[in-house]
Amino acid sequence: MATQPRAAELTAAFHDFNRLSSSLESSYRDLEARVASLAAELADARRQRFEELEARSRLASRLEQILGLLPGGVLVTDAAGLVVDANRQAAELVGALPVGKSIHEVLALLTPSGDDGQGEYDTPAGARVSLSRRPLGSEPGEILLITDVTDNARQRAWLDRQRRLSTLGEAAALLAHQVRTPLAAALLYTNRLANPSLEPAERQAVAAKVVGRLKHLEAQVGDMLAFARGGGGGMVPCDVNLLLEHVVQSLASKVEAGARVTVRTHVNGATVNANPEALVGALVNLAVNGLEAAGEAADVTISAERDGGRLVFRVEDNGPGVPAELAGRIFEPFFTTRSSGTGLGLAVVRSVARAHGGDVRLETAAAGARFALELPLVGEAA
């Protein structure tokens, strides 16, 4: 009787074992199917990744070729301002391999061009370039484009000179009688010198008048030539205080008894890229205008001060000032309110200022006239 329960237990156990085996076999088949599916997905992902890497490689190669073929230089910086990439043209334009250097160190190699082209610089390689910079967008850093505009700058300079020569030619008839007047006076005084009966004192006075008329004629011709040249060329770094010393020396023979010229400088070690002769001549021109306008009791002040990355020369006098109705015309070539003037003095000053990358303006003053000549400072404009 005991064998029947034992057989029933074995039968039940056998059924349980078969059921468990079937369940395990089903789970194993499901696991195999899942592994096969994951393997297929992984292979597809690897294929897609490989294709993406290939596409990126082709894109990088294509971009590298494009950068190499671009006529301008391209610099890419990181968040710290270090140049991390640059094309061959960039190295040629700045005259050094920029990768790994600070962008400020690279830009320090560029010198403001000092002419009418805004945002243009001269490179150590002798090229004229323009500079534009943009952020990289979602990535830290920026991209800078250096464009060679040497030919454009030469064309602008040539066109500007042609414009000045054209203006000079149109005014030739007007200038003819202005030159003839002091020349005729000098000839008249010279004829008097030929008179043998002329007393020594009178002869000396007539000779002084001849010299005065010839100097006036020389000044007129000098103004015309300075306007035709435009005041550019021969740019070198110049110490501002040293320039002011040359201005004072040039004015020494032009200050009459009773007049005074004061120089005030608020800059030390400041440097501008300039043609020293042209710039000193422009400042002297402004000072002489003030001396002549104010007369015997003239008091002219010349000052220099920083204004951000710019340097501002101011020339102020105690004369009658400029009438409001004439303020908009005083820089026009050949415009003058004096019978003996050529009307080129202030036009030359503006031409020189713009050739140096700056400008000149008439400022409002409590009394007299005040002119401000503004230029970029070396090392601060870039």
Is the pTM higher than 0.75?
Answer: no
Burial class (CB in 10 A: 0-12, 13-18, 19+), 152: middle
Least confident of 20-24, 93-97, 208-212, 347-351: 93-97
Region 139-166 average pLDDT: 80
Q: Is the dihedral of CA 188, 191, 196, 202 positive or negative?
A: positive
Region 8-33 average pLDDT: 80
pLDDT recorded at residue 186: 76
pLDDT recorded at residue 382: 35
Region 249-275 average pLDDT: 86
Q: Element (H or E) spanning 197, and its range? A: none
Q: What percent of the chain has pLDDT over 70?
A: 81
Region 125-134 average pLDDT: 80
Most confident option among 66-75, 135-144, 186-195, 237-246? 237-246
9-14 own/partner pairs: CB under 8 Å, 24+ apart: none
First to last CA, the chain: 111
Cα distance between residue 355 and residue 308, in whole Å: 20
- Higher-pLDDT residue of 203, 333: 203
- Higher-pLDDT residue of 150, 291: 291
Report which DSSP code applies to 337: S
357 has a pLDDT exceeding 70: yes
